[in-house]
């Protein structure tokens, strides 16, 4: 599974003395170009036209819809005939006129600005999913990344460690003593609307300003979700609308 946000650099100096591990530093890097390991259409994923319907069964008009088909663990393509769930959103008609829809198993309904393309798509055996989209002319003009971890506990702790202080002790219980991570680049802002969510904004080279929402909820079975949206400031209203859509797809804190 390729991971496009919160890439742990693990620029760590380790000293092994009588079984003791001493780590000098540990840095976690926020997402941004240049992106590695693009998925290849036709080999790693397929795109097929699809239809989006609302909760009443009415077709949503005027919106390009594509389904992202992936391979299962045996290397077989999933079926394109499976019925899709309703597309539920509070996006206004003005916003819908400027976006396109993708659906993928594990990713659900994903919304991007119109004309954007799939850069990478992956779904792991443990349910972990990662999808990355970029503007048609490349990530310097915009990109969007979703990352979901529903089961791999170590992966969840690794992703959440730099944002949620309580996670560090959980991670150490699993892997042993580790340094607290430093976040690079330093966010311009970071807020916590509830105990499960962190909202931040940051700048990274060759990219528009980035908005991120990260969710770690351990009230039931722990899970991690993050969404990064990088859109030029001239389209800040569209960026805000997309962030709101993706945040609404995540269960409210403590209800999972």
* pLDDT tens readout for residues 100-133: 999 998 899 999 999 999 999 998 888 899 999 9
Question: Does residue 11 or residue 242 have the better pLDDT?
Answer: 242
Q: How confident is the model at residue 15 (pLDDT cuts 50, 70, 90)?
A: very low
| pLDDT tens per residue, range 51-103 | 999 999 999 999 999 999 999 888 899 988 889 999 999 999 999 999 999 99
Question: Does residue 100 or residue 183 have the better pLDDT?
Answer: 100
Q: Is 9 left (phi over 0), alpha (psi -120 to 50) or beta?
A: alpha
Find residue 48's DSSP bridge partners: 67
| pLDDT tens per residue, range 208-224 | 999 999 999 988 788 99
Find residue 246's DSSP bridge partners: none
**Gyration radius from the chain CA atoms:** 19
Question: Does residue 221 or residue 48 have the better pLDDT?
Answer: 48
Q: pTM of this prediction?
A: 0.87
| 247 has a pLDDT exceeding 70 | yes
Nearest 5°: phi and psi at 123?
A: -140, 120
Average pLDDT, the chain: 87
Each domain of the chain, given as residue ranges in start order, spans: 7-248
Q: How confident is the model at residue 256 (pLDDT cuts 50, 70, 90)?
A: low
């Amino acid at each position: 599974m390729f991971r496009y946000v919160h890439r742990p650099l693990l620029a760590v100096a380790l000293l092994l003395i009588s079984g003791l591990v001493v780590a000098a530093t540990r840095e976690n890097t926020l997402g941004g170009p240049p992106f590695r390991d693009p998925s290849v259409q036709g080999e790693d994923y397929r795109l097929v036209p699809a239809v989006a319907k609302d909760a009443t069964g009415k077709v949503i008009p005027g919106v390009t819809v594509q389904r992202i088909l992936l391979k299962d663990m045996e290397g077989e393509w999933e079926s394109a005939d499976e019925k899709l769930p309703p597309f539920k959103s509070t996006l206004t008609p003005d916003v819908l006129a400027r976006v396109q829809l993708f659906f993928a198993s594990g990713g659900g309904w994903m919304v991007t600005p119109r004309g954007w393309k799939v850069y990478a798509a992956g779904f792991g055996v443990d349910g972990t999913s990662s999808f990355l989209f970029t503007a048609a002319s490349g990530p310097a003009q915009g990109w969007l990344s979703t990352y979901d971890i529903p089961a791999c506990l170590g992966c969840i702790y690794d992703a959440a460690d730099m944002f949620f202080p309580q996670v560090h002790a959980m991670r150490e219980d699993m892997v042993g003593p580790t340094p607290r991570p430093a976040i690079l680049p330093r966010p311009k802002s970071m807020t916590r609307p509830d105990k499960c969510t962190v909202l931040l904004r940051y700048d990274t080279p060759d990219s528009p300003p980035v908005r991120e929402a990260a969710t770690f909820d351990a009230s039931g079975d722990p899970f991690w979700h993050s969404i990064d949206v990088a859109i030029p400031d001239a389209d800040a209203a569209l960026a805000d609308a997309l962030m709101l859509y993706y945040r609404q797809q995540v269960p409210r804190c403590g209800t999972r």
